[in-house]
Amino acid sequence: MRLANYTKIFKKNGLMIVAGIFTILSISFFLFIPFTNTTSRIINGRTFDSLETSSKMFSHIHLWSMPKFISLEKNKPILEFIYSKEPSNIVALRALEEIDKIILENDFLHSVYIYSETNGIISTLSGWERGELSDNTIDKLVNNNIDEATHVFRPRQVNFFNNKENTNIYSMILGKRVDNNKTTSCIIINLSVSKISEIIAPMDMNITSDLVIIDRNNKILLHPDKTMFGNSLDSTSDFYNISQMKAEEGSIETIINGGKSVVWWLDHNELPWRFILYSPKNDLYHEIIQLRKILILLSLGGSIVFIILFILAYNKITFTRNIEESIKRVIDYYPDHDLEDDFLVMSALDKKNSKWTIALIGLEKNTSKDISFDSGLNTIYFIRCNTNKFCLISLLSTKKMVEYLQEKQSSESIKNNGLSFSFCISSFTTNTDSFMSQYTLLNSSFSRKFKFERNSQIPLLDQNEKLSSSFEINENEINHLDSAIRLENAKEAWKIITELLDLCDKDGSEEAFHYVINIIRYRLFQNSILNPETIVIEGINNLNDAITDIETIPEARELFEKYCNRLQSIKTGRTDLKKVEIHKKVKEFVEDNLCNLNLGPDLISEEVGRSSGYVRDTFRSIEGDSLSNYIGSKRIEFAKDLLLKTNKPIKDIAEASGFMNYSYFFTYFKKITGKTPGDFRISQ
């Protein structure tokens, strides 16, 4: 059996092709299911990126805020309160005002204290604390480990105002002054652990995960269990082995809270801290396990479907080959053919459908090359009658068959072989007509009285003999042509002209031909926009003379198609000008409303008076990018300008730039610029 037969059947069975591809992909996935290592590398990469982001976020808090904290050491109102022998309420109020500013500018701060051994304590929690202290452990904090370095964070659990629950904070001592081994004055900055954990929480993690931070002394600085805060890791802790790892980053599988977990760690660049992220193994690989099961089922199901369809296709190949061989024998030996072949052909056709289209193709010269006329065509049977004649039997309509073969005449595959062909088409029904009677009619239709060019469609011989008196055109068709040309509807005009030429082609008489040409000519002259006397069409000096010189239907089709294309191009030009105006108006509106949180296609469509879909499509067609991307890029440019020219907090800049969500602003800014907002401000 020839490979071409298999190829043809496969083209006609889209379901089998899909099933085959589906099976191959399923089996391929099944063979490569052991991709746990690759998947782990991907998860590791994403997790390390997330840990690095958390680390950089804390660096941002540390580096960006530290200059402001240190500036308190030389702040005049604060120093005035510390060194005054008996400070007044006004002096204390000025000092309090300075530390209140720091609190307002940094959302992650819990409180700020000014400690003076002689003048008392001022805090952002309760002002000048002359009586009961809001933090009873403050004397212990400033006097224990008096030689310990300042400007470092210390984890503390403090019972503020003697509440029932302790508050976890990071405390930093600034401007410490010591006399006789006792702290006389200092400034204490308290960071809220809960707010810090929200800011540095790993982003884009679709799995259950928790973050732990420890310092070089194994003291816990952040932990999901708040009661563990400030404690030290001992050898029995689940995280002790991770704390002893010498590598700056890595990952291992270990037991956490009694279950198998995957743990990643990353050392901070500036601070002596280690960031640890852990996730239960079952949660981490749950989707992979489920995917493996699905792939196994799909591969088995796809294989079964493919085998069944292959068996059906093989049977169909054999049956189709037998029918084509019978058709070939009927054509070769008619009228002395075997009646059994005739019966087999008609039975096979009638079994599939009662209505068929038959096309006879005649090459202008003989060739032994293997030429295919059924690519993209719903051809059921394709028979090569001899070296220059082919027969197609299809379920397509006559009109569809004509369109396909006309396209085939100008195709590269025909031209490259130096070939040209003409064709004629007929239709028949198996219950009233004979296949051979239609074939005989087509075979005799290559000689015609009416002039038709080579490489054209040849009307049927019996239709060519109709009298001109029987040729009629529906008046509605003419009215529709008038309306289409007047309204510049080129597509509809070309459709009606084609139908009129088809009627002329079907009649086959010269009288009908000239009558149709004159009808079309008169309608074109009524169009004030594209008058045949003034229109300029490529390759045609005078359209009126060109219409007069038409001799064949192919020439008429070519000329009138050029006219309709020109009509369409003029209409498209006017439409493009309107789109340019809308595009300009949209850009101006975006520039003026960047701070509007509701800025988007819906708001813009109300402004320009068009639908949101039309606005999006028009903007993309001219700008080359989506409207949403354009708005986002303009907002980032605006935010960059604010970062460089103002000292506003980044959260306020995000809102001023039109971003409702700070986290999304942070992620989007880094995606566009390659830097976080804080890093961008520092680098510039």
pLDDT digits (tens, 9 = 90+) for 446-455: 544 333 455 5
Please tell me the predicted confidence (pLDDT) of residue 450. 36
Query: Among 182-196, 360-374, 450-464, which range has the highest average pLDDT?
Result: 182-196
| Single-letter amino acid, residue 260 | K
User: What's the rounded Cα separation, in Å, for the pair 460 and 445?
Assistant: 5
- Report the share of the chain in percent with pLDDT over 70: 73
Q: Which residue has the higher pLDDT, 187 or 609?
A: 187
User: What's the rounded Cα separation, in Å, for the pair 556 and 502?
Assistant: 11
Residues 349 and 432 placed together within one structural domain of the fold: yes
How many structural domains is the chain composed of?
5
Choosing from 418, 438, 465, the residue where a domain stops is: 465
Please tell me the predicted confidence (pLDDT) of residue 79. 93
End-to-end CA, the chain: 74
Choosing from 465, 496, 524, the residue where a domain stops is: 465
Residues 191 and 113 placed together within one structural domain of the fold: yes
Report yes or no on 265 lying in a domain.
yes
Distance of CA 543 to the CA centre of its chain: 47
Report yes or no on 36 lying in a domain.
no
Confidence of residue 190 (pLDDT cuts 50, 70, 90): very high
Q: Which two tokens stand for residue 65?
A: 């805020």
In this predicted model, what pLDDT tens digit does every residue of 498-531 receive, in sequence order? 888 888 877 777 777 877 887 787 777 655 444 4
Report yes or no on 246 lying in a domain.
yes
In this predicted model, what pLDDT tens digit does every residue of 319-329 receive, in sequence order? 777 777 777 77
Residues 518 and 411 placed together within one structural domain of the fold: no
* Burial call 408-447: b when 16+ CB within 10 Å, e when fewer: bbeeeebeeeebbbbbbbbbbebeebebbebbebbbebee
Residues 455 and 498 placed together within one structural domain of the fold: no
- Report the share of the chain in percent with pLDDT over 90: 6
Contact (CB, 8 A) for 561 and 494: yes
Using the Cα atoms of residue 213, residue 219, residue 222 and residue 225 in order, give the sign of their dihedral: positive
Q: Which helix (H) or strand (E) holds 276?
A: strand 273-280
Confidence of residue 495 (pLDDT cuts 50, 70, 90): confident
User: What's the rounded Cα separation, in Å, for the pair 229 and 207?
Assistant: 24
Residues 387 and 510 placed together within one structural domain of the fold: no
Please tell me the predicted confidence (pLDDT) of residue 461. 43
- Angle of the 89-105 helix axis to the 76-83 helix axis, nearest 10: 140
In the predicted model, what is the mean pLDDT of residues 332-344?
67
In the predicted model, what is the mean pLDDT of residues 540-562?
77
Please tell me the predicted confidence (pLDDT) of residue 465. 37
Strand partners, 211: 277
Please tell me the predicted confidence (pLDDT) of residue 469. 43
Contact (CB, 8 A) for 402 and 457: yes
User: What's the rounded Cα separation, in Å, for the pair 619 and 616?
Assistant: 5
- Cα–Cα distance list, 418 to 101, 239, 363, 411, 581 (Å): 87, 79, 11, 11, 50
**Which segments within 353-497 are labelled E, that is strand?**
355-363, 379-384, 389-394, 421-429
User: What's the rounded Cα separation, in Å, for the pair 523 and 188?
Assistant: 93
Please tell me the predicted confidence (pLDDT) of residue 534. 46
Residues 205 and 189 placed together within one structural domain of the fold: no
Q: Which helix (H) or strand (E) holds 485?
A: helix 475-486
Range with the poorest average pLDDT among 48-52, 55-59, 465-469: 465-469
Residues 667 and 569 placed together within one structural domain of the fold: no
pLDDT at 365 over 50: yes
Confidence of residue 91 (pLDDT cuts 50, 70, 90): very high
In the predicted model, what is the mean pLDDT of residues 412-436?
73
User: What's the rounded Cα separation, in Å, for the pair 215 and 170?
Assistant: 12
In this predicted model, what pLDDT tens digit does every residue of 207-233 receive, in sequence order? 567 888 888 788 888 888 878 887 888
Please tell me the predicted confidence (pLDDT) of residue 527. 57
The pairing of beta strand 183-192 with beta strand 109-116:
antiparallel
CA-based nearest residue to 675, from 649, 639, 648: 639
Q: Which CATH number characterizes residue 639's domain?
A: 1.10.10.60
CA-based nearest residue to 296, from 21, 642, 665, 29: 29
Please tell me the predicted confidence (pLDDT) of residue 70. 84
pLDDT at 96 over 90: yes
Residues 159 and 240 placed together within one structural domain of the fold: no
What is the overall mean pLDDT for the chain?
76
The set of long-range contacts for 432-438, using a CB threshold of 8 Å and a minimum separation of 24, is 434/346, 435/327, 435/330, 435/342, 435/345, 435/346, 435/349, 435/358, 435/393, 436/330, 436/331, 436/334, 436/335, 436/342, 438/358
Burial of 449 (0-12, 13-18, 19+ CB in 10 A): exposed
Sequence-distant (6+) residues with CB within 8 A of 558 are: none
Contact (CB, 8 A) for 204 and 213: no
- Angle of the 490-507 helix axis to the 553-592 helix axis, nearest 10: 170
In this predicted model, what pLDDT tens digit does every residue of 115-160 receive, in sequence order? 998 899 999 998 998 777 888 888 888 888 777 777 788 888 888 8
According to DSSP, residue 144 is labeled: T
Distance of CA 378 to the CA centre of its chain: 34
Residues 184 and 210 placed together within one structural domain of the fold: no
Residues 279 and 339 placed together within one structural domain of the fold: no
Report yes or no on 664 lying in a domain.
yes
Query: Among 1-5, 376-380, 559-563, which range has the highest average pLDDT?
Result: 559-563
Burial of 10 (0-12, 13-18, 19+ CB in 10 A): middle
Taking only Cα atoms into account, the Rg of the chain, rounded to an integer number of angstroms, comes to 43
Structural domain of 376: 334-465
Please tell me the predicted confidence (pLDDT) of residue 113. 95
Please tell me the predicted confidence (pLDDT) of residue 451. 37
pLDDT at 167 over 70: yes
Sequence-distant (6+) residues with CB within 8 A of 25 are: none
Query: CB count, 10 Å around CB of 115?
Result: 24
Q: Which residue has the higher pLDDT, 157 or 27?
A: 157
Report yes or no on 293 lying in a domain.
no
Please tell me the predicted confidence (pLDDT) of residue 188. 93
Contact (CB, 8 A) for 350 and 369: no
User: What's the rounded Cα separation, in Å, for the pair 171 and 186?
Assistant: 12
pTM: 0.37
* Burial call 322-339: b when 16+ CB within 10 Å, e when fewer: ebbebbbbbbeeeeebee
In this predicted model, what pLDDT tens digit does every residue of 238-281 receive, in sequence order? 888 888 888 888 878 888 888 888 887 888 766 778 888 888 87
Residues 159 and 78 placed together within one structural domain of the fold: yes
User: What's the rounded Cα separation, in Å, for the pair 445 and 383?
Assistant: 19
Sequence-distant (6+) residues with CB within 8 A of 175 are: 72, 73, 150, 185, 186, 187
In this predicted model, what pLDDT tens digit does every residue of 660-676 receive, in sequence order? 788 888 888 888 888 88
User: What's the rounded Cα separation, in Å, for the pair 243 and 223?
Assistant: 14
Report yes or no on 417 lying in a domain.
yes
In this predicted model, what pLDDT tens digit does every residue of 627-653 receive, in sequence order? 888 888 888 888 888 888 888 888 888
Contact (CB, 8 A) for 78 and 114: yes
DSSP letters, 342-371, are HHHHHHHHHHH-SEEEEEEEEESS---S--
Report yes or no on 501 lying in a domain.
yes
User: What's the rounded Cα separation, in Å, for the pair 436 and 440?
Assistant: 6
Please tell me the predicted confidence (pLDDT) of residue 468. 41
User: What's the rounded Cα separation, in Å, for the pair 151 and 158?
Assistant: 19
Choosing from 169, 196, 223, the residue where a domain stops is: 196
Q: Which two tokens stand for residue 332?
A: 């070769």
Using the Cα atoms of residue 627, residue 633, residue 636 and residue 642 in order, give the sign of their dihedral: negative
- Cα–Cα distance list, 88 to 73, 77, 92, 527, 674 (Å): 20, 12, 6, 96, 51
Residues 340 and 461 placed together within one structural domain of the fold: yes
In the predicted model, what is the mean pLDDT of residues 467-477?
61
Please tell me the predicted confidence (pLDDT) of residue 115. 93
| Single-letter amino acid, residue 415 | K
Confidence of residue 467 (pLDDT cuts 50, 70, 90): very low
Report yes or no on 407 lying in a domain.
yes
Q: Which CATH number characterizes residue 103's domain?
A: 3.30.450
